[in-house]
Amino acid sequence: MGWLLTKALLSGLIIAAVSEIAKRFPAWGALVASLPLVSILAMLWLWREKPDVANMAHHSEATFWFVLPSLPMFLLIPTLLRHGWDFHLSLLAGCLLTVCLYSGMIWLGPRVGIDIS
């Protein structure tokens, strides 16, 4: 239980730091948010709990393929905001787009030889 709390606190601190940086310096906050910190931490936690080379390689590769369908969200949200959409609706639209693109990746990936299962 102590390890779970440690993971949660460190992960939460990173999110809090990003939001604090972004309040003052939006581009720097975006830079920190774009760093693969969550992925790196997840890999560190996973390796500590299950040091399996094949599992880690598969996790890392699948992460790459799932990052791709998440990227358009970061273009849709500012576009909608600049066209007068409410923030929450823009965020929801971005999330829905991402869910659709993730579904597409889950469907298409195996058909083109990408192992994401």
Domain boundaries, the chain: 1-51, 52-117
Q: How many CB atoms lie within 10 A of CB 91?
A: 16
**Please, which pLDDT band fits residue 86 given cuts at 50, 70 and 90?**
very high
pLDDT in tens, 1-15: 788 898 889 888 988
Cβ-Cβ contacts under 8 Å for 79 (sequence gap 6 or more): none
pLDDT in tens, 88-102: 999 999 999 999 999
pTM score, whole prediction: 0.82
Alpha carbons 39 and 65: distance in angstroms, whole number = 13
